[in-house]
């Protein structure tokens, strides 16, 4: 955990509000495999990481709440008794959304002061938004003794995103961020929310994230549009999600789908099986099998589900042609953000140099690298 970040947020809070805050850390996440399967009630294979959001909070004892986003030095004031989504809001809407969802329950909230900052880049596909939502719901739960379970809290975070941000996201990000366990990956069944855990032992390999440093603007509308395509395909079979649809079932409605809709639904069914295979591979320490599955997943995301982009494809293609990497794919919602790579430990530096040079040449842009450790989920820091 980033002790310097914690100290900065805490001292800034004391300086600004003259009171001792409650401190919360909420992590971002990676996902080994299982992309765009969560909102289809399918399987995902995520883990929380040691980068995330640090939040400091206390009661305000006044008619207003003040929130400060430290990294951009933005200040936002409002009353919890009168909230609505901001038209051009960004982080503000994640927080207001959480408040609104809490208020839909019978629990009572008062005004509060909050300062937050983080060390996950926004828009990199590492779920800075879920980390922020979870940090806020968790902090409010502690501060006002609301008595929510972790499971209730992740649904509050998810609905905040649906209703205040407008992204109809699945439950993977909020789950991984809230329930993370050091060194551990979760095979999560997004229908039952049951998870099997496994320690990730990559032997001579490790995980390397490469950020394209781009986020194409169609990401949010395309996300919701993909979700609709999947729901419609399931509906044609009278089923509630693609999770329940078999390859044969899909075949039987092929005529009623466009080729592109068919490929998207097919991708989801195939990706679900890849997640289950990946879980077995990790259990058996079969790292090269895991790597193959990552490449196959990217291929599906690029060519069937069509949520990749030139920059992501370039990074994955480069990785595929390098003998340092045995598996790589785009991670998260797509249209930018990071790739996740399984890379030989002793070849990292050489690989980074080579790929950075080529990326710069091709896109006239820098790519960034993150090494992450798998961490515990959302928790109190004091
Ligand atoms: C985003 C969403 C998740 C999930 C991924 C794609 O991160 O928030 O719910 O759908 O995209 O797998």
Answer yes or no: do 164 and 257 share one domain: no
- Residue 122, pLDDT > 90, answer no
Answer yes or no: do 245 and 215 share one domain: yes
HSE on the CB side for 207, CA within 13 Å? Answer: 25
**CA 238 to ligand 1 centroid distance, Å:** 25
- Does 173 qualify as catalytic in the annotation? yes
Q: CB of 39 closer than 6 A to ligand 1?
A: yes
Per-residue pLDDT at 220: 82
Per-residue pLDDT at 215: 87
CA distance 33 to 308: 15
Q: How far is CA 283 from CA 179, 198, 202, 208, in A?
A: 20, 7, 11, 20
Residue 123's pLDDT band, with cuts at 50, 70 and 90, is confident
Instruction: Report which ligand 1 atom has the smallest distance to the Cα of 35.
Output: 12
Indicate the number of domains in the chain. 2
Answer yes or no: do 210 and 102 share one domain: no
Instruction: Report which ligand 1 atom has the smallest distance to the Cα of 31.
Output: 12
**CA 185 to ligand 1 centroid distance, Å:** 16
Q: CB of 35 closer than 6 A to ligand 1?
A: yes
Answer yes or no: do 209 and 72 share one domain: no
Per-residue pLDDT at 23: 98
Q: CB of 170 closer than 6 A to ligand 1?
A: yes
Answer yes or no: do 129 and 184 share one domain: yes
**Strand pairing partners for 121?**
none
Which of these is catalytic: 50, 110, 119, 173? 173
pLDDT exceeding 70 applies to what percent of the chain? 100
| Sequence-ordered list of residues with C-beta below 8 angstroms from that of 254, at least 6 positions apart, any chain | 262
Answer yes or no: do 32 and 130 share one domain: yes
CA distance 56 to 327: 38
- Residue 172, pLDDT > 80, answer yes
Alpha helices in 29-185 (DSSP H): 91-104, 128-143, 150-160, 172-179
Q: CB of 173 closer than 6 A to ligand 1?
A: yes
Answer yes or no: do 166 and 219 share one domain: no
Residue whose CA lies nearest to ligand 1 atom number 2? 169
Q: What domain range is 327 assigned to?
A: 200-371
Answer yes or no: do 184 and 321 share one domain: no
Answer yes or no: do 9 and 127 share one domain: yes
Pocket test for ligand 1, best of 332, 334, 340 (most atoms within 8 A of CB): 332
Question: How confident is the prediction for the chain on average, in pLDDT?
Answer: 96
Mean pLDDT calculated for residue range 169-187: 98
Per-residue pLDDT at 1: 77
Contact 103, 144 (CB under 8 A): no
Q: CB of 28 closer than 6 A to ligand 1?
A: no
**Strand pairing partners for 117?**
54
CA distance 176 to 172: 6
Answer yes or no: do 32 and 102 share one domain: yes
**Other residues' Cβ atoms within 10 Å of the Cβ of residue 381:** 15
- Write b or e for each residue in 245-281: b if 16 or more Cβ atoms lie within 10 A of its Cβ, otherwise e: beeebbeebeeebeeebbbbbbbbbbbbebbebbbeb
Contact 342, 291 (CB under 8 A): yes
Per-residue pLDDT at 41: 98
Answer yes or no: do 229 and 367 share one domain: yes
Q: CB of 243 closer than 6 A to ligand 1?
A: no
pLDDT exceeding 90 applies to what percent of the chain? 95
Per-residue pLDDT at 89: 86
* Kind and range of the H or E run holding 16: helix 3-17
Per-residue pLDDT tens digits for 254-298: 999 999 999 999 999 999 999 999 999 999 999 999 999 999 999
Pocket test for ligand 1, best of 36, 45, 48 (most atoms within 8 A of CB): 36
Per-residue pLDDT at 37: 98
* Kind and range of the H or E run holding 269: helix 259-283
Answer yes or no: do 29 and 173 share one domain: yes
CATH number of the CATH domain containing 194: 3.30.230.10
Q: CA angle 140-144-147, nearest 5°?
A: 85
CATH number of the CATH domain containing 355: 3.30.70.890
Per-residue pLDDT tens digits for 23-48: 999 999 999 999 999 999 999 999 99
Residue 79's pLDDT band, with cuts at 50, 70 and 90, is very high
């Amino acid at each position: 955990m980033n002790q310097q970040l914690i100290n900065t947020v805490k001292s800034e809070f004391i300086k600004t509000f003259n009171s001792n805050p409650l401190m919360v850390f909420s992590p971002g996440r990676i996902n080994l495999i299982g992309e765009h399967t969560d909102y289809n009630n399918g399987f995902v294979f995520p883990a929380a990481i040691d980068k995330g959001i640090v939040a400091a909070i206390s009661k305000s004892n006044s008619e207003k709440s003040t929130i400060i986003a430290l990294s951009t030095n933005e200040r936002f004031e409002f009353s919890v008794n009168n909230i609505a989504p901001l038209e051009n809001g960004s982080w503000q809407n994640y927080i207001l959304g959480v408040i609104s969802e809490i208020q839909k329950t019978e629990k009572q909230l008062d005004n509060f002061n909050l300062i937050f900052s983080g060390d996950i880049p926004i828009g990199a596909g590492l779920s800075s938004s879920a980390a922020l939502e979870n940090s806020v719901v968790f902090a409010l739960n502690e501060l006002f003794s609301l008595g929510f379970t972790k499971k209730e809290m992740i649904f509050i975070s998810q609905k905040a995103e649906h209703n205040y941000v407008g992204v109809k996201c699945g439950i993977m990000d909020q789950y991984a961020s809230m329930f993370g366990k050091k060194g551990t990956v979760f095979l999560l069944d997004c229908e039952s929310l049951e998870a099997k855990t496994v320690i990730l032992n990559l032997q001579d390999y490790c995980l390397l994230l490469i950020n394209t440093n781009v986020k194409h603007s169609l990401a949010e509308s395309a996300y919701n549009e993909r979700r609709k395509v999947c729901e419609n395909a399931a509906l044609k079979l009278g089923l509630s999600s693609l999770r329940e649809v078999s390859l044969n079932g899909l075949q039987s409605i092929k005529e009623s789908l466009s080729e592109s809709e068919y490929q998207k639904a097919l991708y989801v069914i195939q990706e679900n099986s890849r997640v289950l295979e990946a879980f077995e591979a990790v259990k058996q320490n079969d790292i090269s099998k895991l790597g193959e599955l990552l490449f196959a997943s990217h291929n599906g995301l690029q060519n069937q589900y069509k949520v990749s982009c030139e920059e992501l494809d370039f990074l994955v293609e480069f990785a595929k042609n390098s003998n340092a990497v045995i598996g790589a794919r785009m991670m998260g919602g797509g249209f930018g953000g990071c790739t996740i790579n399984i890379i030989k430990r002793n070849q990292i530096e050489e690989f980074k140099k080579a790929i950075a040079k080529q990326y710069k040449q091709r896109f006239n842009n820098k790519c960034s690298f993150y090494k992450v450790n798998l961490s515990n989920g959302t928790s109190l820091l004091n």
